[in-house]
Copies of this chain bind each other. A is one copy, B any other.
Amino acid sequence: MSDALTAAVGLNNHFAVTQPGLFARRIEAFAPEEAVDVLQSLPDATLIDVWERLSPDLAREFLAVLPEKLTATVLSQLAPTALVNLFSDMEPEVRATYLQFVSKNVRQEIDTVLVYPEGSAGRKMDSRILTMRPTDWVEDALTRLRQHHNTRVIYTVDDDLHLLGRLTLEAVALAAPETILESLAAPVEVVVNAVDPMEDVVELFETLNIEDVPVIDINGRLVGHFEQRNMAAAIHSDSTSDLQAMVGVSRDERALSSPLFAVRKRIGWLQINLLTAFMAASVVGLFEGTIAKYTALAVLLPVVAGQSGNAGAQALAVTMRGLALREITLRHWFRVTWKEAHVGLVNGIGIAITCGIGVYIWSGSLGMVLVISLSMVLAMVAAGLAGAMVPIVLTRFGQDPATASSIILTTVTDIAGFFSFLGIATLLSDLL
């Protein structure tokens, strides 16, 4: 190797050791062959550190072009969970050829994890946990921690692998070597079941300030755990999925999902939206006579509905976020709806004034100004109430407050907008 190349490889290694996450992100931008060249230059332990941080689909791409020696290194040292991710979408025959590189123990573990349903805690948990007996010494715990440099918590268990307590690395590191673990162990207050949905696990980390959560199987045996430091991406992903749920897109669609997947996941709610659109249209139909006389009403109709739609969406967003962050609960329903009705009234008056001026300039009809101003205030109060109540009512009936909330809300705001505008226009038609 030339000196410059040696230096470059040294630099690479250094970067990969200290920032495996950043390093993984960088090589994800390379073509698979280039990425493999870089990976090949890393020491084994570092290579594994980096590999575990690759995005799963790219890891699969890279694996396909890996030379056999490197394949053996990666597959024999990767954590079982990482292997499960790598293998889960593979054809059984392809998987079988790869599985020969994996030790028998780990193959069994993979089978265990693959038993749990897709999307469950068991599928995603880290099964590389460190368990010890309550009567073991701190000294031995330190030795074990040195071997398992990937974990920061030790669980104490009985002979049947039932969870007794937990010890953090700090507690162990800062204790005298001749202490027994029992005297340092704290009880575990929160556990999850391996079959629980992954969203429940993420929610625990979102709402409680906890460092790790052990996972138990149906027999109450400890089978894995989650650590907070690995949850940032999951929390980010889960929190942003409300965006999709509220407009009738499933939480598992991704920006680069196939069009067919997207169509399948979205068309159901679109058909329901069509039904609600017909309901709103039938309100307009009630006033066809009035519209036939004053076509200007048809022109202004979208203005009232559009404003109440946006005002309702604002109330919905704030209320849904409050529920998601646990800043409000169902107990607050009155305070929140009262606030939103209040905001709807004040904003409604503000918008009615601007809108009245605009309509006067356009039509010169004071009657039309009166009709649109009155209906604007009414529609925006209704929108505020509906925006606050839709997620609260969904939660009250045990539903996810995000589910299709935007579709439900639009139905309400359209109908409120059409009714108030055309209704008031019909009542005051002498002034038009």
Contacts and interface: CB of A to CB of B under 8 A. Distances in A.
Contacts of A318: 244, 249, 253-255, 257, 262
A313 B262 CA distance: 13
B232 A270 contact: no
A320 interface: yes
Interface stretch (A19-27, A73-81, A117-125): A19-27
Given A255-B319, A270-B347, A322-B255, A211 B229 contact: yes
Contact of A291 (B149, B255, B298, B311): B298
A228 B232 contact: yes
Interface string A253-280: 1111111101100110111011011101
B311 A298 contact: no
Contacts of A255: 318-319, 321-323, 327-328, 332, 336, 339
A237 B347 CA distance: 26
A267 to B, nearest CB: 5
A209 B303 contact: no
Interface residues of A, number: 123
A324 B255 CA distance: 11
A310 interface: yes
B288 A299 contact: yes
B284 A299 contact: yes
Contact of A235 (B208, B232, B410): B232
Copies of this chain: 2
Nearest to A342: B259
A406 interface: yes
18 contacts: A18-B186, A18-B189, A21-B209, A22-B208, A152-B170, A209-B230, A235-B239, A243-B321, A244-B317, A255-B339, A256-B335, A256-B339, A263-B343, A263-B350, A270-B311, A273-B310, A278-B358, A302-B414
Interface of A: 14-15, 17-22, 25, 53, 142, 145-146, 149, 152, 169-170, 172-174, 186-187, 189-190, 205-206, 208-211, 228-233, 235-237, 239-244, 246-249, 253-260, 262-263, 266-267, 269-271, 273-274, 276-278, 280-281, 284-285, 288, 291-292, 295-303, 305-307, 309-311, 313-314, 316-325, 327-328, 332, 335-336, 339, 342-343, 346-347, 350-351, 354-355, 358, 406-407, 410, 414, 418
